[in-house]
């Protein structure tokens, strides 16, 4: 797929490119690297919460820092994905994303039931991944056609999220969070199916795509839980 959200482009044909053993190797390496990428994310989130370093990144400033940092890292990952620098750059990106996530986590932890909400969001994200991974192994249909519709949905979602940064509407945040969970869950299924079918040959690109899917589902689920289920002292 080749959208600005996941910024992945592949010139190989979908589903007819790799022998079965090579497909399994790419999938296995992707899962290992995806698991490893969660460690810098947790570290970045912990550092951000503990130090409050991202507390001042509100409104337009936070949006600019996030977009410049995220897309800068994504560009670097795509440039280095076929070299030895690809994995360290990817892990640096996941640390940055954890740091950016820390502000939302700190806000949710401010609720009386904050830790439970964070764990619920984590468990819910893991559940979505398990369901999508299971579906990807049994669905026989070519899902590559989903990408163009998901791309449109992601662009509308991104524009809505940027507008809501300045408006600060709770109802808007709810709608964006629900839509994001649906869109990026579908992206997760599409990305997993592409790896399984051999349409993605690089495990670093595959990990980047799945990581962004998981990040967006977790972030949206956490925001949703915080709005609907946060208990104040």
In terms of pTM, does the model score above 0.75? Answer: yes
Decide if 188 contacts 16 (C-beta within 8 A).
Answer: no
In tens, the pLDDT along 147-160 reads 788 888 888 988 88
pLDDT of residue 30: 95
Least trusted range by pLDDT, from 43-52, 70-79, 147-156, 213-222 = 147-156
**pLDDT(15) > 70:** no
Decide if 165 contacts 63 (C-beta within 8 A).
Answer: yes
Please choose, from the candidates 225, 194, 160, the residue with its C-alpha nearest in 3D space to the C-alpha of residue 16: 194
What are the distances in angstroms from CA 35 to CA 31, 67, 210? 6, 24, 11
Confidence of residue 57 (pLDDT cuts 50, 70, 90): confident
């Amino acid at each position: 797929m080749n959208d600005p959200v996941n910024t992945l482009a592949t010139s190989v044909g979908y589903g007819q490119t790799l022998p079965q053993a090579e497909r399994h190797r790419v999938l296995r390496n992707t899962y290992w690297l995806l698991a490893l990428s969660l460690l810098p994310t947790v570290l970045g989130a912990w550092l951000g919460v503990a130090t409050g370093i991202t507390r001042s990144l509100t409104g337009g400033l936070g949006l600019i820092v996030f977009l410049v940092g995220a897309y800068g890292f994504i560009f670097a990952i795509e440039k280095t994905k076929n070299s030895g620098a690809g994995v360290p750059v990817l892990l640096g990106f996941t640390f940055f994303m954890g740091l950016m996530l820390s502000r939302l986590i700190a806000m949710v932890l401010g609720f009386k039931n904050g830790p439970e909400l964070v764990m619920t969001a984590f468990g819910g994200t893991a559940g979505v991944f398990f369901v999508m991974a299971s579906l990807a192994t049994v669905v026989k249909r070519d899902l590559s056609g989903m990408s163009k519709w998901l791309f449109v949905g992601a662009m509308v979602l991104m524009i809505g999220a940027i507008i809501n940064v300045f408006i600060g509407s709770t109802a808007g945040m709810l709608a964006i969070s629900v839509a994001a969970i649906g869109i990026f869950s579908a992206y997760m299924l599409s990305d997993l199916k592409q790896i399984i079918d051999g349409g993605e040959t690089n495990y670093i690109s595959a990990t980047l795509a799945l990581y962004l899917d998981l990040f967006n589902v977790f972030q949206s689920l956490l925001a949703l839980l915080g709005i609907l289920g946060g208990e104040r002292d």
